[in-house]
Structure 1
Amino acid sequence: MILLVPANPLRPRHPDEHFAAEAQAAQAAGLDVAVVDHDALARGGVVRRAVASVSGSGVAVYRGWMLRSEQYAMFAEVLAERGVVLRTDGEQYRRAHELPGWYAALAAVTPPSVWTTGSERADFDRARVELGTGPAVLRDYSKSMKHYWNEAAFIPDLEGGGAAWRVASRFLELRDDEFVGGFVLRRFERFASAEVRTWWVDGVCVLIGAHPDSPDDFAPVEIDPAPIAPMIAGLGLPFVTVDLALRTDGVWRVIELGDGQVSDRPTTIEPQAMIGTLLAQAR
């Protein structure tokens, strides 16, 4: 298996510092490691240049910065021309990376959600009315702006159309060209714990740890991933993360599912443990 990581912009033949420890752990475990130009991947049209340093052939896993689904699909296509096959194909990446791709399978264990196609006010209002009244959390298909909670994420009451649209407008302003797909409105639920990030290979939970946003906050009670395992396995995705939080009534809820290749590793998980999940894929 080949591990692909972003190149350091200042030292293009070396891994980006954020992923250097994982690259070193992979080499120590006997994996081949190659760097790719993430900026070129994200720009589009220069993908062949982005993968120019990738040699050899076989199955590959990417561990790097987030890519839009169409960028990842082109990445996979150009690598395949060189004899390198990403274990997660373009369609699988989109289903993991964008909420509409995984929501139906996990609807019973995640906050009720509706979404639009595009960013028009009329479509937003239709989705808002469909979800009903009360508080909600706004995001797009791939990302929230939770660090701008009061201005671009939390909607106190969906019934207030003008106030809700102001939040949506600020969200659009902040996301700018990175806005993906459409608006997603999710029913607000209260949680009693920080998020926990779980890592899954072929529908099996192989690693549990803190969320990167709160690496030193651990779950107040032990997590049993068994109840959601059939749902995750049913998605047929090779490598994903599932973020969970404990609701105030003591029920674990799925906050997010993401492609494991572009999910950040918290500092409290050693890089060797991350590489262990990749080796689990290789077996």
Structure 2
Amino acid sequence: MRFLFPSDYFNPKKADAAYLEQVACMQDAGFATSVVSLELLASGSSKIIPVPYPDSKVVYRGWIISPSDYELLVGVVGSMGASLLTSKAEYLATHYLPNWYPLIADLTPETKFYSVDDDLENELNRLAWNGFFIKDYVKSLKTSVGSIINKPSEIGTVVSEMQKFRGSIEGGICVRRIEDFVPETERRYFVVSGKAFAALPDEEVPEIVEECAKRIGSQFFSVDVIERRDGTKRIVEIGDGQVSDIVGWTAERFAQLWVG
């Protein structure tokens, strides 16, 4: 197994500073590491340094990249005789909310999907929910007016601000029903080859995460769990593990997921 990190913009043979700790921990755990220039993917001149061994499996660990760039990354890795552990189809299966939502609809807040061109205010009025969490297929708006609204008339402002601050809307609009969550209870878990892991070695993995591991076929993904005020655990997010932050985790613990 080889772990592939984004290269430093000014030094293409070195990992980006944000990932140096993970690189060191992966190497300490006995894994090979390489870097790749994400900026050069579209030009077709991006190289993997050092080159992976033929027939080896590669796990990308880096920034979120678009589906088209991920396809280019699959091609770069394949041109060197290796293969990514996560295919493009698997990447999108956990990266895009509409792909994973139907598999765990009973474990996560109710969600509706729309096009940017839909009459969103009218659609929200029809839902008649007490609150709405707005995001595109991947991310929510964390600046300006934020992502949570109580009035359907506010949806236009959120969407325009998403386009302004994020540059584009990826995929479409997801409207999630607000539940009474306890913010400080949110935890991230990782699933590798069907096995779920918690941030601490002796921490119990919630049953709801184990259920996700059974239902979702991706080799490597993250699961974010939070508690409602009634004590019920709920899934608030699933993401491709390659581009998920290790929030709440140490780099050493993350590296140990792959040992043995």
Between the aligned partners of 1:239 and 1:153, the Cα distance in structure 2 is 27
Render the CA deviation track for 1:29-74: whole Å, top value 9, x for unaligned: 2211110112233xx2x2x422343512310001111111222122
Q: 1:273 maps to what in 2? A: 253
User: Aligned pair in 2 of structure 1 residues 126, 88: CA closer, same or farther (>3 Å)?
Assistant: farther
* Contact 1:203/1:238, CA 8 A, preserved across alignment: yes
Q: Secondary structure at the match of 1:138?
A: strand
How many Å apart are 1:202 and its aligned residue?
Answer: 2.1
Q: 1:212 maps to what in 2? A: none
Q: 2:69 maps to what in 1? A: 71
Identify the match of residue 207 of structure 1 among 182, 188, 198.
Answer: 198
Between the aligned partners of 1:109 and 1:71, the Cα distance in structure 2 is 31
Render the CA deviation track for 1:159-185: whole Å, top value 9, x for unaligned: xxx3222222222222213x2100111
Which one-letter code corresponds to 1:253 in the other structure? R
Please say if 1:197 is aligned against 2:188: yes
- Please show how residues 159-170 of structure 1 align to structure 2 within 5 Å: 162-170=153-161
User: Aligned pair in 2 of structure 1 residues 207, 82: CA closer, same or farther (>3 Å)?
Assistant: same
Render the CA deviation track for 1:110-145: whole Å, top value 9, x for unaligned: 11001124x2143x3464255333210100000111
Between the aligned partners of 1:30 and 1:69, the Cα distance in structure 2 is 30
Q: Secondary structure at the match of 1:11?
A: coil
Q: 1:36 maps to what in 2? A: 36
Q: 1:173 maps to what in 2? A: 164
Q: Secondary structure at the match of 2:231?
A: coil
Task: Tell me whether 127-136 or 76-85 shows the greater mean CA deviation.
Answer: 127-136
- TM-score for the superposition, normalised by structure 1: 0.83
Q: 2:112 maps to what in 1? A: 114
Which one-letter code corresponds to 2:38 in the other structure? H
How many Å apart are 1:193 and its aligned residue?
Answer: 3.4
Q: 1:214 maps to what in 2? A: none
Q: 2:124 maps to what in 1? A: 128
Which one-letter code corresponds to 2:161 in the other structure? R
Identify the match of residue 212 of structure 2 among 200, 224, 231.
Answer: 231
Between the aligned partners of 1:225 and 1:138, the Cα distance in structure 2 is 27
* Contact 2:136/2:172, CA 8 A, preserved across alignment: yes
Identify the match of residue 142 of structure 2 among 129, 146, 149.
Answer: 146
Render the CA deviation track for 1:68-105: whole Å, top value 9, x for unaligned: 12221221123112111110100000011010110011
Between the aligned partners of 1:277 and 1:131, the Cα distance in structure 2 is 42
How many Å apart are 1:274 and its aligned residue?
Answer: 1.0
User: Aligned pair in 2 of structure 1 residues 29, 228: CA closer, same or farther (>3 Å)?
Assistant: closer
User: Aligned pair in 2 of structure 1 residues 126, 81: CA closer, same or farther (>3 Å)?
Assistant: farther
* Contact 1:62/1:86, CA 8 A, preserved across alignment: yes
Q: Structure 2: which 5+ residue stretches go unaligned?
A: none
- Please show how residues 214-225 of structure 1 align to structure 2 within 5 Å: 224-225=205-206
How many Å apart are 1:196 and its aligned residue?
Answer: 0.8
Which one-letter code corresponds to 1:114 in the other structure? K
Which one-letter code corresponds to 1:183 in the other structure? I
Q: Secondary structure at the match of 2:34?
A: strand
Between the aligned partners of 1:234 and 1:81, the Cα distance in structure 2 is 32
Identify the match of residue 175 of structure 2 among 176, 185, 194.
Answer: 185
* Contact 2:15/2:35, CA 8 A, preserved across alignment: yes
Q: Secondary structure at the match of 2:235?
A: strand
Calculate the aligned-residue CA RMSD, in Å: 2.0
Compare the two structures and name the one with the higher helix fraction. 1
- TM-score for the superposition, normalised by structure 2: 0.90
Between the aligned partners of 2:95 and 2:89, the Cα distance in structure 1 is 10
User: Aligned pair in 2 of structure 1 residues 37, 127: CA closer, same or farther (>3 Å)?
Assistant: farther
